[in-house]
Amino acid sequence: MSIDPTACPSGDEKVTLFGLLLETNARLARGLGVELEATCDLPLPWFEVLLQLRKSPEGRLKMNQIADAIVHSTGGTTRLIDRLEEAGYVERTMCPSDRRAIHVAITDGGNAKLDEALAVHLVYLNERLAGRLSEPERQSLSTLLGKLNAGV
């Protein structure tokens, strides 16, 4: 059975663009993950959670908010938080306004580890992003990616 090339447009510009986005994301994430593990002994998913907690207004989020922010399943996020809590980087507390919900908060140890990881992250970004794109290119890329992320 042969495939009609018009029925599966693998050479379409949109397919190519999407592939480039996926490949770029995968390569940057993998490289950063290797750097964080080697330098800080911090897995990339842990870094993502700690960063989301730091960025939250109160330094804490509900479990479902974390899962949504890091694009992870709720079950996977629970196991991830378990490991972060064992390491002393986060703590769970009951949500005062919703007894069914649990807040996850970053600890002092988590903040210290995140500071260490952010120093590595910035070096990585300077080498892989800022060093390869001009400021106007970075601003355009940021604007375009923001448009793609809106409402997704």
> What's the domain range around 88?
28-128
* Mean per-residue pLDDT, 21-33: 94
Give the per-residue pLDDT at 11.
Answer: 75
State the CATH number of the domain containing residue 101.
1.10.10.10
Residue 19 lies in a domain: no
pLDDT tens for 74-103 read 778 889 999 999 999 999 988 777 778 889
Residue 113 lies in a domain: yes
Give all strands of the β-sheet with 90-94 in edge-to-edge order. Answer: 60-62, 102-106, 90-94
Provide the number of structural domains found in the chain: 1
Residue ranges in 1-152 assigned as alpha helix (H): 13-40, 44-55, 63-69, 74-86, 108-125, 135-149
Task: Write down the pTM of the prediction.
Answer: 0.83
Residue 142 lies in a domain: no
Integer angstrom CA distances of residue 142 from 106, 125, 130, 151: 28, 14, 12, 16
Identify the band that residue 30 occupies on the pLDDT scale cut at 50, 70 and 90.
Answer: very high
Residue 91 lies in a domain: yes
Residue 37 lies in a domain: yes
Residue 7 lies in a domain: no
Give the per-residue pLDDT at 69.
Answer: 86
Residue 144 lies in a domain: no
